[in-house]
Amino acid sequence: MRVRELVEGFNLKPIAGEQGLDREVKGGYCGDLLSDVMAKAPVGCIWLTVQGHLNIVAVAVLREMAAIVITGGREPDVETVQKASQEQLPVLTWPHSSFELAGRLYALGVGAAPTP
């Protein structure tokens, strides 16, 4: 599954890194504590978080993530958008809770894949 298909299927709003929309999504993770995400998020995952500040980009790059979704109606900071664009990392927004989106993604089969 590609990031683009999830964007279209769930009406996620791309804010940055549209160049990366064809990345493959290999799993999912929800987390707002960065050291937890850094240690446990599956490689190639789509990451659901309420954090919108710049430091989420480094975590996503280092974990080789497919995309970040900022949930709960929050918006990324301007610096986050700039940095994510440089890294061609899709940053998307979703107006409802991480729980609601995670449930839908899981039902679609995202997140059932084991960590490589």
Token pair for 2? 């590609």
With beta carbons less than 8 A apart as the criterion, state whether 52 and 68 touch.
no
Element (H, E) at 103: helix 98-107
Min dist CB 87 to other proteins, Å, is: 8
Min dist CB 92 to other proteins, Å, is: 18
In this complex, which beta carbon is closest to other proteins, that of residue 97 or of residue 108? 97
Min dist CB 15 to other proteins, Å, is: 19
Sign of CA dihedral 37, 45, 21, 49: negative
Between CA 100 and CA 53 the distance in angstroms is: 22
Where along the sequence are the contacts to other proteins (CB under 8 A)?
32-40, 43, 49, 51, 53-55, 57-59, 61-63, 79, 115-116
In this complex, which beta carbon is closest to other proteins, that of residue 11 or of residue 38? 38
In this complex, which beta carbon is closest to other proteins, that of residue 6 or of residue 93? 93
